[in-house]
């Protein structure tokens, strides 16, 4: 028997309770290949390597490996390359097969990775099984679709062919994971109910495959969910590109909920929703939120610039329709978040910053996620044609996942991501400032530090959100008389400059808030709230420079400061000259016609998260709960 091993490593989260994803892609390969009697008779499936083990020890644990398959993406490609080097040193005749999303559609990586023998392009089940079969029968690899390999006269890439089936055995139901379920890991699961994507967004590598959407049999989906519940798996990440695209997706969500009600599992489900089937998606979202299975509903835009959307081949929701969605979800008390991408070709600093503000104007005040654009190998954006046409410049930035302990062992292998930091329409300097704008809007507006001030200034002083935040950033960067925010915003601008010059990762650490890597907007929020008095003094100074109504400025700034949830805060009362509580409760419930009355009102605040120290506060309130509720702001009435 020839021994075959599969490597699909990812990060292990947590310290006391360790969590990791089951190696689903590797499991799919194994389930499909070992369903074949010929392969079962010829090959022994060894253990999965699914965490970032010490490579020397991991290779030493293998027993005379004949073939090793390595599943590659941003978070593990460098590990896999180093693994293959150590493997080849000890077992030079072992065949290495590299596959996954990070393998480009040509054979160039055979030259870049001398220890890679075969590359698999696109979906891997059929190609991997065909490779194992061809090696048994000593057939020419050139007969196999969707691979590249080393030939006698150079590298060879075979014909491309998209699979037209999803008639694959399930890795859950065939038992290929049975050997790792007792490893002391609290596993999360990946779930596919369909495969493929009808869209061809240039930044994504799903649409580039140009595969039609293929539905997995509903009986298989239900059986996998039964397996997940039976094994007490708490969290499911849905792999579908557009969940809610099909009527049956509501039935699948209902089945998940019924399992949770009967067994307690699964507890959470996160998925990418389709953007054009609100009738179904709305019902699914409400069902999941009502049963505490979803943190929030995604309403992705990526950009609101028509020029950008045309370049990337994406058709967005009409902003009026988008606003209606946000307000609907607000009235139904379903949290939402909106995703935008920084660095897309065609975007300028102004179009990007104003795009964020148009999202706020449309009613999204609580959660806007901004992602720096990652240039991935199988996307149209990653092609030479796009790179040359739009003068795309990237940096090979160290990839460090957020919300993990930064301490590393010496043998850890660094991973990298290709971040777009300039295009023909956005300079590096503008990219740095655009990132700073995004982080400012996220920390100050969506996390609530100045949200109530900005809304009041917009509604009663006719100050646009862009003018409010752009003006504040410019003042903070240029005016040293802002004693607190000047130094802080200059430090963050310098941080993004370092990222753009490949001189450090994006994530940030402040040990006052725990020894953990946070996103920049989370750290900015925490720093400002930790030093709330000097921060709000500078905010008040800025407001005086743009508004002559001193009484209003005093009242709204004091109210904003008063309602913030901070460690140790339980319940307080304060009198204000405006009925802020009624106005903001009405406004953020979807009533855009809410009126702010000028009369003395006693405001009472009740903290919903009773944290005694800053590390616990940032972890529980800023990281865990920021999309679930307005937890950075106390309940007030």
Q: Token pair for residue 451?
A: 């949200």
pLDDT digit string, tens, across residues 498-552: 999 999 899 999 999 999 999 999 999 999 999 999 999 999 999 999 999 999 9
* pLDDT, tens only, 314-360: 877 678 878 888 888 877 778 888 999 999 999 999 999 999 999 99
Alpha helices in 141-234 (DSSP H): 218-230
- Residues 457-502 have pLDDT tens digits of 999 999 999 999 999 999 999 999 999 999 999 999 999 999 999 9
Identify the residue whose tokens are 């059986």: 223
- Quick one: pLDDT at residue 149? 97
Q: How confident is the model at residue 255 (pLDDT cuts 50, 70, 90)?
A: very high
Q: Token pair of 366, please?
A: 């609580």
What is the model's pLDDT at position 29? 98
The DSSP bridge partners found for residue 33 are: none
The answer, yes or no, to whether residue 296 has pLDDT greater than 70, is yes
Give the per-residue SS3 of 413-470: CCEEEEEEEECCCCCHHHHHHHHHHHHHHHHHHHCCCCHHHHHHHHHHCCCCHHHHHH
**221 CA to centre of own chain:** 24
User: Which band of pLDDT confidence, cut at 50, 70 and 90, is reported for residue 581?
Assistant: very high
The CA angle 532-536-537, to the nearest 5 degrees, is 115
- Report pLDDT digits (tens) over 266-294: 999 999 888 778 889 889 998 998 999 98
Spell out the alpha helix ranges (H) of 68-137. 77-90, 108-112, 125-137
Given a contact cutoff of 8 angstroms between Cβ atoms, the answer to whether 216 and 194 are in contact is: yes
What is residue 96's predicted lDDT score, i.e. its pLDDT? 98
CA-nearest of 576, 563, 559 to 608 is 563
Residue 211 has pLDDT above 70, yes or no: no
Evaluate if residue 441 carries a pLDDT over 80.
yes
pLDDT at 627 over 60: no
d(CA 387, CA 456) in angstroms, rounded, equals 43
pLDDT more than 90, % of the chain: 72
- Are 121 and 146 contacting, i.e. CB atoms less than 8 angstroms apart? yes
Can you read off the two tokens belonging to residue 419?
């971040």
Q: Which residue has the higher pLDDT, 296 or 271?
A: 271
Question: What domains lie within the chain, and their CATH numbers?
Answer: 2-11+18-157 (3.40.50.280)
- CA angle, corner 71, sides to 68 and 73, nearest 5? 150
- pLDDT band of 390, cuts 50, 70, 90: very high
Model-wide pTM > 0.85: yes
């Amino acid at each position: 028997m020839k021994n075959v091993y599969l490597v699909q490593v990812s990060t292990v989260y947590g310290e006391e309770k360790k969590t990791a994803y089951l190696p689903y892609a590797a499991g799919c390969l194994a389930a499909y290949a070992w369903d074949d009697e010929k392969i079962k008779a010829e090959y022994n499936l060894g253990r999965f390597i699914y965490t970032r083990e010490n490579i020397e020890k991991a290779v030493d644990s293998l027993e005379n490996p004949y073939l090793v398959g390595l599943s590659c993406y941003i978070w593990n490609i460098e590990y896999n390359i180093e693994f293959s080097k150590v493997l080849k040193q000890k077992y030079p005749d072992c065949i290495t097969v590299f596959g996954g999303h990070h393998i480009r559609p040509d054979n160039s990586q055979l030259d870049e990775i001398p220890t890679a023998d075969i590359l698999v392009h696109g979906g891997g089940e059929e190609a991997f099984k065909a490779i194992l079969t061809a090696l048994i029968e000593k057939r020419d690899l050139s007969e196999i679709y969707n691979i590249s390999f080393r030939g006698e006269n150079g590298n060879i890439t075979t014909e491309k062919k998209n699979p037209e089936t999803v008639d694959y055995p399930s890795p859950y139901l065939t038992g290929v994971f049975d050997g790792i379920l007792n490893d002391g890991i609290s596993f999360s699961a990946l779930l596919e109910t369909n495969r493929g994507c009808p869209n061809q967004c240039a930044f994504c590598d799903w649409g580039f495959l140009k595969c039609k959407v293929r539905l997995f049999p509903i009986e298989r989906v239900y059986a996998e969910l039964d397996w997940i519940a039976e094994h007490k798996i708490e969290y499911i990440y849905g792999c579908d590109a557009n969940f809610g695209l099909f009527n049956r997706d509501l039935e699948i969500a209902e089945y998940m909920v019924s399992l949770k009600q009967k067994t307690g599992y699964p507890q959470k489900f996160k998925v990418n929703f389709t953007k054009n089937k609100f009738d179904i998606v709305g019902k699914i979202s409400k069902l999941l939120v009502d049963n505490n299975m979803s943190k929030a509903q995604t309403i992705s835009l990526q950009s609101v610039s028509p020029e950008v959307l045309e370049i990337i081949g994406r058709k967005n929701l009409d902003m009026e329709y988008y606003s209606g969605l946000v307000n609907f979800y607000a009235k139904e008390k379903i949290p939402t978040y909106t995703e935008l991408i920084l660095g897309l070709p065609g975007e300028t600093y102004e179009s990007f910053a104003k795009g964020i503000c148009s999202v706020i104007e449309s009613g999204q005040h609580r959660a806007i996620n901004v992602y720096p654009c990652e240039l991935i190998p199988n996307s149209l954006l990653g092609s030479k044609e796009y790179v040359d046409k739009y003068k795309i410049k990237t940096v090979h930035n160290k990839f460090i996942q957020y919300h993990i302990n930064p301490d590393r062992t010496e043998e850890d292998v660094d991973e990298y991501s290709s971040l777009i930091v300039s295009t023909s329409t956005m300079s590096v300097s503008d990219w740095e400032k655009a990132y700073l704008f995004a982080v400012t809007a996220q920390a100050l507006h969506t996390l609530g530090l100045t949200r109530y001030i900005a809304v009041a200034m917009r509604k009663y002083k006719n100050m646009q959100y862009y003018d409010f935040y752009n003006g504040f950033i410019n003042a903070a960067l240029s005016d040293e008389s802002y004693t607190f925010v000047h130094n802080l915003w200059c430090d963050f601008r310098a941080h993004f400059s370092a990222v753009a010059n490949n001189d450090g990762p994006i994530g940030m650490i402040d040990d006052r808030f725990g020894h953990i890597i946070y996103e920049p907007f989370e750290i900015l929020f925490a720093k400002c709230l930790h030093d709330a008095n000097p921060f709000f003094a500078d905010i008040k100074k800025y407001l005086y420079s743009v508004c002559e109504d001193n009484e209003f400025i005093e009242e709204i700034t004091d109210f904003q400061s008063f309602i913030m949830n901070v460690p140790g805060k339980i319940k307080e009362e304060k009198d204000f000259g405006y009925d802020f509580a009624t106005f903001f409760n009405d406004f953020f419930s979807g009533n855009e016609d809410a009126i702010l009355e000028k009369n003395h009102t006693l405001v009472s605040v009740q903290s919903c998260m009773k944290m005694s120290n800053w590390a616990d506060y940032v972890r529980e309130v800023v990281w865990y709960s920021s999309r679930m509720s307005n937890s950075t702001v106390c309940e007030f009435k």
